[in-house]
Structure formats: C-alpha cells, structure tokens
Amino acid sequence: MQDHGSSSLRRRLQIVELARKSDAVKVEALSTLLGVSRVTIRGDLNYLEQQGYVLRMMGRARYNPALLHAVPAPQETPTRLCGPGPSRVAGAALRWIADGMALFLGGGALVHRLLPQLVVRQGLTLTLHDLAMVATARQFLACGVHVTGGVLSDEEPGLIGPAAEQGLRSHPLDLCVLEVSGIDSRGRVLSRFAGAARLYAAAVSHCAKAISLSHGSDVGAASGHPVCSLDALDAFVVPHDAPPGVLELLARHRLQSGRKADGFLEFRKA
C-alpha cells in the first residue's frame, strides 16, 4: 500500500485493520472515529478497493475475504496508527494497555477516539457506560464488552447512578481511562457531569491504575464536579501545545513530564 501523504497512509492502514476485525465498517462511523470528513473516508475506501484490501457496499465496506488466508495487511506500531490532534492524545493511552487487560473507559470524544486504536491489542475486556461507545466497540473490536447498567439522564450522555457504580465494581479492572474537564485549586480532577464524576471516582478507586486525558485548553478550568485528586492518577495526558501554565499546575501536584512525542505531553506520577 503506497501513498504520498503519511497521515493518509496511517488512516488507511487503520481502516484496513478495522475492516479486517469487523463484519463491515460504515462511512459515517469511520468519519466520526478518525476525525475526517465522509468525503475523505469515501476517497480512502475507493483507494483501498482499487488496491484489493476492501469491498465497497452501500455506505460501508468490508475486508476482502480473499485476503483472509493471505499475507496480513501491513501494520504500524500503535503510536504511528494515531491520527493528528485528539487521536494522538487518545492514542497515548495505548502504551498503558497490554493484551488481555480489563479496562473501564469513560465517556467523551477523546476516549471515544481511543476505541478504534484498540484493534492492535488482543484479548481485552471493556467496561463501558457510554452507549454510543458500546455500539462502536461491538462493531469494531473483537473483545468482551460489559455495560455498567444504571440509568440514563437527560442531562448526561452515559449511564449513571448506584447501579452503574455497582456494575463497574462487579468486574476486576486493570486500568481506567477518563476524559476530564479541568483541575480545581485543590488539585482535584473534574468532570462536566455530576453523575459521571461519581462513577469515575468509583472507577479510580476500583482500578489498579488510572489515567486522564484532556483537550489541554480547559485543563486549568475550575468548573465541574470533582472525581479524584491528581495524586490518585498514574498519568495525565494533554496536547503538546497545551497552555504554558499546565506544566506548572501539574508539577505542583507531583506529576512530572515523562514523555513528549507524537503531538502530546504525558505527565506521570513522580
């Protein structure tokens, strides 16, 4: 597979891998997950069909069955599979995820971007409370999927409440990945939604490790509902162009810059 644009190549490799592990991939879903227009996705699928990697159908594509017993489609390392911007921030979580792990993934656009990148991991078990993410995981990933249960609120995007918290605790979890809206003056990580904040607090206390993802521009915001102290996190990931005050803010709470690559900064527990 050859292409002059490295970002197009990475995206097309990811589409091939998603198609290989799914019955079919939808143009609309790929557009949302990979952060590009439907026109771009259709162009990618046209190219991949010409190269023999996929077969086109109405609004979707599937992996060419003739390749199932042939040489596998080329793969790149996890960090190179990540697209630009938010996908790279989401992809930073991959280095914390090993084959066979049990994960809780919170809601939000950044964490949703992580889902298609999990095709490079085997034997995962996911616990989810965002129903849109449940649908995506079941379409694209060959892994176990548990839904927390709980109630749907008109004010929040995911399942919440005591039943959701009980459902989360019903399975051993190695890692939780959470999207946060900011950090308050007391060094507490915040969520925009009260119910999600309580669920995420339960996840942090139940999981062996916890990491948070942020868009960067809002990391210093103090509005939201507290989830946990920064001290309870193993890592905090922001875009590489996050505001200058972010480094100082996180350093004050014993998180040190541990990695700067591929468009993101990762702060790890000191």
Ordered DSSP codes for 193-251: SHHHHHHHHHHHHHSSEEEEE--STTTT---SEEEEEGGG-SEEEEETT--THHHHHHH
**pLDDT (tens digit, 9 = 90+) per residue, 5-41?**
557 777 887 888 788 777 788 898 888 888 889 999 9
Beta strand residue intervals within 112-220, DSSP E: 125-128, 144-147, 151-152, 159-160, 175-179, 182-183, 188-191, 209-213
Q: Average of pLDDT values for 219-245?
A: 80
Q: Which residue type occupies 149? A: G
CA–CA separation, 21 vs 118, rounded Å?
A: 11
Rg (CA), the chain: 19
Say whether pTM exceeds 0.85.
Answer: no
Q: Region 108-132: what's the mean pLDDT? A: 90
pLDDT tens digits, one per residue of 155-198: 888 999 999 999 999 989 999 999 998 888 788 889 999 999 99
Q: Return d(Cα 223, Cα 120) in angstroms, integer.
A: 36
Among residues 82, 81, 132, which one has the least CA distance to residue 106? Answer: 132
If you ran DSSP here, which 8-state letter would residue 59 be given?
T
Query: What pLDDT is recorded for position 80?
Result: 35
Q: Hey, how many other C-beta atoms are within 10 angstroms of the C-beta on 171?
A: 15
Other C-beta atoms closer than 10 Å to the C-beta of 231 total: 12
Name the packing angle between helices 27-34 and 131-140 (round to 10°): 110
Residue positions counted in the chain:
270
Strand 188-191 versus strand 182-183 pairing type: antiparallel
